[in-house]
Amino acid sequence: MQENFEEKIKLIHNILIAVSTGTNITPILNQNYAQLRSELLSSKYKDSLPIYVKSSLDLKQFWSVIKNESPTYQGRRDILNNDFLKLESLFNHNISEKYHIKILTKSKKKFYKCDMKFDELQKIVNSYHYADDLVVQGNTILASDIESISLRVSFEYFEIYEREAKVELDNERQQDLNNGIIVAFGYDVKSRAFSKLENVTDKFIVHPLGALRTKKPSELLTVKKGDTLKKIFISHAKKDKEIIEELIDLLESIGVNSTQIFCSSFEGYGIPLGDNFLDKIKQELSSEVLVLFVITNNFYESKVCLCEMGAAWALSKGHIPIVVPPLSYSDIQGVIPLTQGLLVNDVSKLNSLKEKLEQDFGLQQINLNSWERKRDKYIKNINKLID
């Protein structure tokens, strides 16, 4: 049985190498990947699989991740080979991924929790996203007192890295003494050990502290029961017109009427001739409007977009950031607070967006097969635009 899983790990490794180095994603290749991934996620090696295997339902999602990790074929090979070398070593050693967390409070106290399994880590991450108080080493850390949080991963127990760090610091201390230098605040062994490990904070912390306080996991911002929305305002940069056109088509396929969409770049969706631009935007941003921010580098360079963002926070019923790669969730932290967003090509989040719009606009649910076909076509077109 072990040899069987070893073979499956090698096969999925080879598939990912091929996709990362220019091989076209065919239905058969995608099907093989999905089958292998499903079997490995049901095995005892599930917690040790690379993050991008756990999170990528298909090869298109994997490609959207790996292409941003390195611009070269060799760089991507190195990343994959390094990750799978660790994984394949599990067949000869009883080791798995271990996660470690450091929390710095506003009072400058440090708290560590080390050698966690994936499920244990996920509970802490969820608590952080909901701004729940954390219990670490018997200490209760108030969410309001958290200054920063950092996550690391290793394949060995943390104490091994602590021992290595202690040896290094002892040598440095002795060298300082020989040179007549006395360090007043001592040497932080745990901090040194922690800094040596792979930083995976951005892979898990994807929402600002407390952003999900009033939401259920994987849900987008929802309107209170009994409230209704009348319009969608798409805030975007004109240079991203092609992406916006795909988004409009998707919204209309869900059932949103074209008269309910305000988008300044397209005739029939924007500002009529002769109307004052700023007055019209202010008029559209009412409490009955849901604002979709299409976040790109072009968006940040547009003064009009930034003005719309400020007005939306004050006037609109709700707002959702739609992040376009190569930007990621971590790039918008602190810019759009208290809102859970979605990647422009994320399958599960697009499904959530559809459900939200059906609920908030009172739309009739479309046939599931029809939706999946339109959604997948949209994702295919978007991926071509952002590749």
Say whether 92 sits in a helix, a strand or coil. coil
**Where are any strands of DSSP class E within the chain?**
98-105, 110-116, 134-136, 139-141, 146-154, 198-199, 231-235, 261-262, 289-295, 318-323, 342-343
The answer to whether 40 touches 5, Cβ cutoff 8 Å, is yes
- Give the closest residue to 110 by CA, choosing from 144, 141, 80: 141
Cβ partners under 8 Å of residue 186, min gap 6: none
Q: Which residues of 275-288 are buried (b: 16+ CB within 10 A; e: fewer)?
A: eeeeeebeebbeee
Residue type, 113: K
Measured CA to CA in angstroms, residue 217 lies from 41, 108, 211, 383 at distances of 21, 30, 11, 26
Strands 231-235 and 146-154: unpaired
Angle CA(20)–CA(345)–CA(269) in degrees, nearest 5? 140
Measured CA to CA in angstroms, residue 40 lies from 8, 35, 46, 107, 208 at distances of 8, 9, 6, 43, 32
The string of DSSP codes covering 204-242 is H--S-TTTTTTS-TT----PPTT----EEEEE--GGGHH
Q: Is 7 a catalytic residue?
A: no
Given 97, 246, 284, 308, the catalytic residue: 308
Which positions are annotated as active-site residues? 308
